[in-house]
Amino acid sequence: MSDIAIGAVCIFGSLFLIQTGMHIGVAMMLISFLGVWSIKSFAIAGKLLASSVTTSIASADFGVIPLFVMMGLFVSVTGMGRDTFDVAAHLTRRIRGGLGIATVAANAVFAACTGTSIASASVFTKVAVPQMVRHGHSLPFAVGVVTGSSVLGMLIPPSLLMIVFGVLANTSIGDLFTSGILPGILLAIFFSLCILVQARWRPHFVYAVQPSRSSGEVGHVPMYILAVKMIPICTLVTIVLGGIYGGFFTPTEAGGAGALAAFLIGVARREITLRVFWEVAIEAGKVTAAICFLLMAAQLYSQMLTLSGLPYAVGQWLQTAQLSFVVVLFGYLTVVLLLGCFLDSLSIMLILLPFVLPVIQGFGTNLVWFGLITIVAIEIGLLTPPLGMSAFVVKANLGNAKITTWQIFMGTMPMTITMGFFLLVVTFFPSISLVLLGRSWSWW
């Protein structure tokens, strides 16, 4: 068997093992080790394995991972998500479907502090769904809005997927964070418009009980109370994002400042005890260890592909076939969307990027823009059956609510379609993600 064939077999082998339930890091490391052993020798495979473990995360820059994870966990265990929703619900109370829009807005703000879609889905399932159902919304619509808008957690900075992409593609994490601001806001607007359209044209789906036109969905709350509720979350967002974009912090330093600020806010609100702090620290350690193990596996996987010569062979084939960038790009996005139906976000990124990046770079592609559309395409996978991670997280947090996972997928479908349209927009108009960086680039 040729080296190129071994590389191809390793790709499909890793996909198979992951789909059988094996941990992605274990699957990739095992397959990569066997692949290098087949291409070179057992001794070289052992040396590369040792090298990937000792050098792949041997940089202070990787401190950004546990710091942002800890900040997100501190935010999740406090009432900041609930307060953000309360304020958004009050401001949109007179809009038809206002609680759905409030959920989107609260998710967007919450995303600026957590960096993960799973945290957003967990928090707002408990916060927003009961309120929406109590005020007459149907349960499928309520869970659909929460599941759909939770993907903002991976697009609006800080984002764990952006950090992983930055590491794998050797691209500035700060630039990736900046590129996600405008698209994140735009996606939140798209979601809100989707809810308004449904409230106007599909009221039987949005409402279980038709609302009265003479009353808002939530009661009046004094403005000073709303202001007090927003102070903690606004302070945290200002410290983290203001520090990065104002040039005061590097992303790693901003993670430390954000984690400290979130901890102090939680202590001041009397919501973080010694027990809670210990639980957060343990969970942050588990998440960080899991991500670092994945990065080690990804480096060995990348080295295996390089030794096999598969990325180079594909690049040469593309040049010979004279396929245009458009064909390659949309072929790549199609593969990402299909894999999203079966694999989680990190699996897709870790398997595809080491193989695809050399090909994409050959076209002179702007990697910041490419990273953004990759994350958007991957996040659509969180909403699509049969895997749809966000849908399962929502289902788990609903407890005994009488709704099936398939009903959650169907309730999320309008948001999924909206995300598909949004993916086309940011793909055809790269300036949306690059304008805040002061750059211009186009592929068409």
User: How much is the average pLDDT of 176-198?
Assistant: 92
Place of tokens 């405008």: 182
Return the pLDDT at 187.
94
Q: Is the pLDDT of residue 419 over 90?
A: yes
Nearest by Cα to 78 from 250, 280, 258: 280
Residue 221 is predicted with a pLDDT of 67
Task: Encode pLDDT of 241-283 as tens digits.
Answer: 788 778 888 878 888 898 899 899 989 888 888 999 999 899 8
Please name the residues in contact with 294: beta carbons below 8 A apart, sequence gap of 6 or more: 24, 25, 28, 164, 346, 350
pLDDT digits (tens, 9 = 90+) for 352-394: 888 888 888 888 889 999 999 999 998 888 788 776 777 777 7
pLDDT at 56: 73
Q: Which helix (H) or strand (E) holds 84?
A: helix 80-91
pLDDT of residue 441: 75
- Give just the sign of the alpha carbon dihedral 288, 289, 290, 291: positive
Reported as a pLDDT band with limits 50, 70 and 90, residue 351 is confident
Q: Percent helix, strand and coil across the chain, each rounded to 5?
A: 80, 0, 20
* Residue 219 confidence class, pLDDT cut points 50, 70, 90: low
Give the other-Cβ count within 10 Å of 281's Cβ: 13
d(CA 128, CA 145): 9
> Tokens 């809100």 — which residue?
192
Backbone angles phi, psi at 59, to 5 degrees: -150, 145
Residue 215 pLDDT > 70: no
Q: What percent of the chain has pLDDT over 70?
A: 95
- Cα separation, 305 vs 36, in Å, equals 9
Q: What is the pLDDT of residues 111-170, one digit of tens each?
A: 777 767 777 777 778 778 887 887 788 888 988 898 888 888 888 888 888 988 998 888
Rounded to whole angstroms, the Cα distance separating 139 from 141 reads: 5
- Per the prediction, the chain carries an average pLDDT of 83
pLDDT at 210: 63
pLDDT tens for 71-127 read 878 887 887 877 887 888 787 777 887 888 988 988 888 777 776 777 777 777 877
